[in-house]
Amino acid sequence: MIDGRTENARTLASLLGVNVEEAAPLLDVAIAVTADPADEAGMAVARHLQRFLRRTVVEAPLNSFRANVAAEVVIGAAAPCRAGAVRVHISRDCIVIGTWAPTEVVCPDTHPVLHVLAACYAAGVVLKSVFGAHLQVPGPAASNGLTIPISSILGPDPTWLTADFVLSGTYLAGAGAIGNSFLYALSLLRVSGALVVVDPDTVSAGNLNRCVWFTSNDIGLPKASRLSDLAQPSFPRLTLIPQRETLQDLGKAQSTEMWLKRLVVAVDRRRTRRHLQLEIPGEVFDASTTGAIECVFHHHVQPTDSACLACIYYESVDELARERHLAETLGVELTDIAQHFVSPDAARRIHERYPDVPVEALGGQAYDTLFKALCGEAKLLTADNRQVLAPFAFVSVFAGAYLAIELGRRLVLGKTACDFNYWRTSPWASPVTDLKDMRGRHERCEFCSQAVLLQTARGLWGHSQ
């Protein structure tokens, strides 16, 4: 199976328009992180940044002078070790990242969850400075830098961050990259109660480059219980309850239809997201990454006349073409791919085409993971398959962290915070608040186009929210 290093090389190859053999050695670099040990907030940003960069390039030494680093990020007022360093400045109002950013200590009142986001933005800028203008990502060049108004992320009044909120009847679907980073950021908010962590899968080597809690010791172990065990010590007032199965199977075992009051969606495929809508959750918080570039956030409360999860992730032509290609390559049917995981029968058929891989190693695998492991890079880099590229760690962290922020913000502030149900944003670029949107239903949505499902949603959730 593929390791995280190869995943990163494939992603970089795609972003640079080169082949994987050319891209792999480019990641064999060190990026230095420098912060003043007396600047507590600055050190917090530095430690997050080091954690994310280490999952992408080979080394990210913190406050350790090295002659052969490819680039340096300096947090706050610390003195750089080399010329041309990328600076990170955080004031009360904005985060500024660039070679020209002001040289001042990080505002000590900065909320810890902003340290995580600042580190994500800094990772994007410094990778641009390492890989140069050929990197096909949005946003300005490293030399121009980024300015991020804090209100665009936290809303106009950030005081909600000081309020407590309680989770109950809440399920996290997906303990992979976004599930990991969701809990990473959520642990910095004032949350209590209980959260059920649902994932049928096990940790693979290819997950390690973007799952912030997992290490090589976790390979082969169930994602849901490993994530819960690793994150629990950071949640003194929230209980994490792991469930190693799909949300659909978990639902079958529930005695009441009202079981899914709130769903946090962190699964890795559009189709799985659409199918989760058929469970008729009362409230949905969703974040996803598009290729290696963008993050999408979605929220709705039933009953709604606006977009549901299945409207947002409506089946696209690209997606169908990609799944057809996956099915043809592996020697299975489209209906098999729709199940997401390889059934014993499909495992037998894939084994006929790939006799070197034992049937036992195929059963239960996710199709995307299997495809990446069995098929060559050339196939992966066609346009249809860009969706299977795993984003760099900081992109997934950004998506999960923003998901945690919106969960907290909307639970504390209630309806007044529900001023948009969709936002596309990218850690490679400054946020564009004009893109915050209230999306309507998709006319052919597989959920909203069925009157009986809408009626059920109204019956279940019409009076309880």
Site for Zn ion, rule CB under 5 A: 308, 310-311, 445, 447-448
Half-sphere exposure of 144 (CA within 13 A, CB side): 9
Nearer to Zn ion, 244 or 439 (CB): 439
Which is nearer to Zn ion, 35 or 310 (by Cβ)? Answer: 310
DSSP track, 368-410: HHHHHHHS-HHHHTSGGGGGGSPPPHHHHHHHHHHHHHHHHHH
CB of 442 to Zn ion, least distance (A): 6
Question: Which residue's CB is nearer to Zn ion, number 311 or number 399?
Answer: 311
State which residue, 229 or 446, has the beta carbon closest to Zn ion. 446
Q: Residue 303 Cβ, how far from Zn ion at the closest point, in Å?
A: 12
Query: What minimum distance in Å lies between the beta carbon of 454 and Zn ion?
Result: 9
Nearby residues of 158 by Cβ (< 8 Å), 6 or more positions away? 111, 150, 151
Q: How far is the CB of 449 from Zn ion (least distance, A)?
A: 8
Q: Judged by CB, which is closer to Zn ion: 10, or 298? A: 298
User: What's the CA gap between 158 and 151, in Å, rounded?
Assistant: 7
Provide CB contacts within 8 A for 282, sequence distance 6+: 169, 258, 260, 261, 262, 301, 302, 460, 461, 464, 465
Integer CA distances (angstroms), 420 to 63, 113, 154, 166, 441, in order: 41, 21, 13, 22, 14
In angstroms, what is the minimal distance from the CB of 89 to Zn ion?
42
Say which residue the tokens 């008729």 belong to.
280
Helices and strands (H, E) in the chain, number of each type: 18, 13
Closer to Zn ion at the Cβ: 69 or 448? 448
Which one, 126 or 310, has the nearer CB to Zn ion? 310
